[in-house]
Amino acid sequence: MYFVRSYSHIFTLIEYSLWKGLLAQFVNLQRTFNWNFADVFVMLISMAFKFRLKQMTNRVKALSRIQVMDVNLFRSVRRDYEKLSDLCSTINKRISLIVIVCFSLNMFFILLQLFNSLKKIDNTTEKVYFYMSFGLILLRATCLCILGGEMYEEWKNIAIYLFSIQSSAYNMEAERFITEVISNKLVLSGKNFFHVTRNLILQIAGATVTYELVLIQFYSEALLQVNY
């Protein structure tokens, strides 16, 4: 009964048997595991890369205080930045789909929980479960934006220190370095459809309100048709 009720979308199409129920349960556990820890994976990647960028920020900060022109020193730091830029491109190529899946699933479950909130819940246990699960989903989406955007925030610090270089130390390599930093943002992206920054929280909130209004409209129309 548990398998049939939990996976009614499967066993209405195919005949039920115990091994099929166990297989469906195993696949569901794998999907749940992947959904939960894919977000953590993206956060850890961003935090690890932020640590490397922090080292670069400290070097650029030291350069901004130098008052003597040193072309070789700027060239060395710029080449190290190019390596970080290549590493960021490689990371985005490898995990862009994971980033899209993480945000898509979070958006889906946020919308689902908001839609379920339209239904009346009388059971106290169900109410507690609903608010806890909804709060945890919001917390995870928020942490994904904040921790996933650590790369971008640290990249902005590099740009700030570069623009504060002493005029006496400014040279051609410094100009090349500034141009390269401005033209190459170091940030996680979802196949360049969006960038993972802290401001993405506001964009998700706006999109959630829009989609939820659409769901409410369809839900109201469906109720009118049923009553009619």
Q: Report pLDDT digits (tens) over 135-155.
A: 888 898 899 999 998 999 999
Which residue range forms the structural domain that includes residue 129? 47-227
Looking at the DSSP assignment, which residues form a beta bridge with residue 189? Answer: 195
Report the C-alpha gap between 138 and 144 in whole angstroms: 10
- Residue 157 φ/ψ, nearest 5 degrees: -65, -40
In a domain, 129, yes or no: yes
Mean pLDDT of 165-192: 86
Measured on CA atoms in the order 108, 47, 79, 180, is the torsion positive or negative?
A: positive
Residue 36: both structure tokens together: 């939960």
Long-range contacts of 85-91 (CB under 8 A, 24+ apart): 85/180, 85/184, 85/186, 87/49, 87/52, 88/49, 88/151, 88/186, 88/187, 91/45, 91/49, 91/188
Query: CB–CB of 42/98 below 8 Å?
Result: yes
In-domain check, residue 202? yes
25 falls within a domain? no
Share of the chain above pLDDT 90, in %: 24
Residue 16 lies in a domain: no
Domain count, the chain: 1
- For residue 168, how many other CB atoms are within 10 A of its CB? 10
The values of phi and psi at residue 90, to 5°, are -65, -45
Number of other CB atoms surrounding residue 173 within 10 Å: 19
Residue 203 belongs to some domain of the structure: yes
Question: Is the CB of residue 163 less than 8 Å from the CB of residue 61?
Answer: no
Q: Which residue has the tokens 């939820």?
A: 212
Q: Is residue 157 part of a domain?
A: yes
pLDDT at 92 over 90: yes
pLDDT category of residue 224 using cuts at 50, 70 and 90:
low
Q: How high is the pLDDT of residue 5?
A: 84
Give the pLDDT score at 86: 93
Contacts of 221 (CB under 8 A, 6+ apart): none
What is the reported pLDDT for 226? 57
Please indicate, yes or no, if residue 37 is contained in any of the structural domains: no
- Residue type, position 192, single letter: N
Q: At 227, give phi and psi (nearest 5°).
A: -65, -35
Q: Where are the beta strands (DSSP E) in 34-158?
A: none
Position 46 scores a pLDDT of 92
Average pLDDT value for residue range 33-58: 90
Where do we find the tokens 């979802």? 190
- What local confidence, expressed as pLDDT, does residue 204 receive? 85
Using the predicted structure, report yes or no on whether residue 119 has a pLDDT greater than 70: yes
193 assigned to some structural domain? yes
Phi/psi at 189 (5° precision)? -140, 160
**pLDDT score, position 41:** 92
Instruction: Report the pLDDT value the prediction gives residue 221, as an integer from 0 to 100.
Output: 64
